[in-house]
């Protein structure tokens, strides 16, 4: 496995690989890897000749009061994990390498970025789409693999790829969870003992919604379901705020307001964002209605 630090070197390598007919897979990350990230690398490994992983904590997607400076970083640990999962190259650039002093070009995906995470974190998705588009141009992958845990991000990147005619396939892999259901996340390390004990209730609330929605004889009113989910989450003492609980079309992210008006066999995503003091966690579940 080789480490690349510059855009120029990464482009030289990927251009040569493509000229040799190699199929390139790509897994973009912000590092501090966990088993969820490694599962994405393994998925890519099965589909391609060469696997690139990027490790870059992207300042553009953090708001002024968010955790950019304290986001967990441990490159030596990440390097070992990437190698164990089957990566061939790790692209590990400095911030100035991707954003030189005169940088002034951004990628905006409209409409679907203004809700959910985009409403709570203004400018977040402009940062995500800008860095991902840059990474796509640098690595030139045939396949890129993302996780379902960041459901809105996945939808936004897929939309950007279609709208800008990017010549690759986007793969969305299932969320990996701890034994108690908590979605794996680099930010889980922030959780204090009591918060960690309460955090699995996010997934319990999502499972509750799935059971009730799939039970056609139960009250499937969305307002009622949201209220019940809120009660369950707020029953945990370390929960300080629920940013949102939302029901959306899994592809378009159009809000779902009633199951009576929805087509049968439609896939929706139920998502939520919850704060445990300074720690903010997101999660979601896919449901066929």
Q: How far apart are CA 49 and CA 206, in angstroms?
A: 37
> Looking at the predicted structure, is the pLDDT value of residue 218 above 90?
no
Residue 178 forms part of a structural domain: no
Percent of the chain with pLDDT over 70: 98
Last residue of a domain, one of 173, 194, 229: 173
Number of neighbours of residue 227 by Cβ within 10 angstroms: 12
> What is the structure's pLDDT at 263?
66
Burial (CB < 10 A; 0-12, 13-18, 19+), residue 9, is: middle
> What is the structure's pLDDT at 217?
65
Does 267 share its domain with 146? no
Q: Mean pLDDT over residues 179-202, rounded? A: 98
Does 210 share its domain with 157? no
Residue 180 forms part of a structural domain: no
Q: How far apart are CA 86 and CA 69, in angstroms?
A: 29
> What is the structure's pLDDT at 215?
83
Distance linking the first and last C-alpha atoms of the chain: 44
Structural domain that includes position 28: 2-173
Please identify every residue annotated as catalytic.
37
Q: Any residues with CB less than 8 A from the CB of 76 and at least 6 apart, and which?
A: none
Residue 97 forms part of a structural domain: yes
> What is the structure's pLDDT at 187?
96
> Looking at the predicted structure, is the pLDDT value of residue 214 above 80?
yes
Last residue of a domain, one of 173, 195, 213: 173
Residue 181 forms part of a structural domain: no
Q: Mean pLDDT over residues 181-185, rounded? A: 98
Does 215 share its domain with 138? no
Q: 147, 270 in Cβ contact below 8 A? A: no
Does 195 share its domain with 150? no
Q: How many domains does the chain have?
A: 2
Start-end of H helices in 51-198: 75-85, 95-98, 117-120, 124-139, 151-163, 193-198
Say which range, 54-63, 123-132, 252-261, 280-289, has the weakest mean pLDDT: 252-261
CATH number at residue 114: 3.40.50.620
> Looking at the predicted structure, is the pLDDT value of residue 238 above 80?
yes
Residue 25 forms part of a structural domain: yes
Q: How far apart are CA 289 and CA 286, in angstroms?
A: 10
> What is the structure's pLDDT at 262?
63
CATH number at residue 230: 3.30.1300.10
What pLDDT digit, counting tens, does each position of 253-275 carry? 999 988 876 667 789 999 999 99
Last residue of a domain, one of 139, 173, 207: 173
Does 200 share its domain with 158? no
Residue 113 forms part of a structural domain: yes
Closest of 40, 54, 36 to residue 145, by C-alpha:
40
Q: Is the dihedral of CA 64, 92, 143, 103 positive or negative?
A: positive
């Amino acid at each position: 496995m080789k480490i690349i630090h510059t855009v120029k070197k990464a482009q030289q390598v990927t251009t040569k690989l493509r000229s040799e007919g190699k199929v390139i897979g790509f897994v973009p990350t912000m590092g501090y890897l966990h088993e969820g990230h490694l599962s994405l690398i393994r998925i890519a490994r099965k589909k391609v000749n060469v696997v690139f992983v990027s490790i870059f904590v992207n300042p553009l997607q953090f708001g002024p009061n968010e955790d950019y400076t304290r986001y967990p970083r441990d490159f030596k640990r990440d390097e070992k994990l990437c190698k164990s999962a089957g990566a061939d190259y790790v692209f590990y650039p400095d911030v100035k390498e991707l954003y030189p002093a005169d940088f002034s070009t951004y990628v905006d995906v409209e409409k679907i970025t203004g809700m959910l995470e985009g409403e709570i974190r203004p400018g977040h998705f402009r940062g995500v789409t800008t860095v991902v588009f840059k990474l796509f141009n640098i690595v030139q992958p045939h396949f890129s693999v993302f996780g379902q845990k960041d459901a809105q991000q996945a939808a936004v990147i897929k939309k950007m790829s279609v709208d800008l005619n990017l010549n690759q396939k986007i793969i969305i892999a299932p969320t990996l969870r701890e034994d108690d259901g908590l979605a794996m996340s680099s930010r889980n390390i922030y959780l204090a003992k009591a918060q960690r004990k309460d955090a699995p209730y996010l997934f319990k609330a999502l499972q509750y919604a799935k059971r009730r929605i799939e039970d056609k004889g139960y009250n499937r009113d969305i307002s009622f379901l949201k209220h019940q989910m809120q009660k369950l989450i707020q029953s945990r003492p370390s929960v300080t705020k629920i940013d949102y609980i939302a029901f959306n079309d899994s592809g378009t992210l159009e809000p779902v307001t009633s199951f009576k008006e929805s087509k049968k066999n439609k896939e929706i995503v139920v998502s939520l964002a919850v704060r445990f003091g300074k720690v903010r966690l997101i999660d979601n579940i896919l449901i066929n209605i």
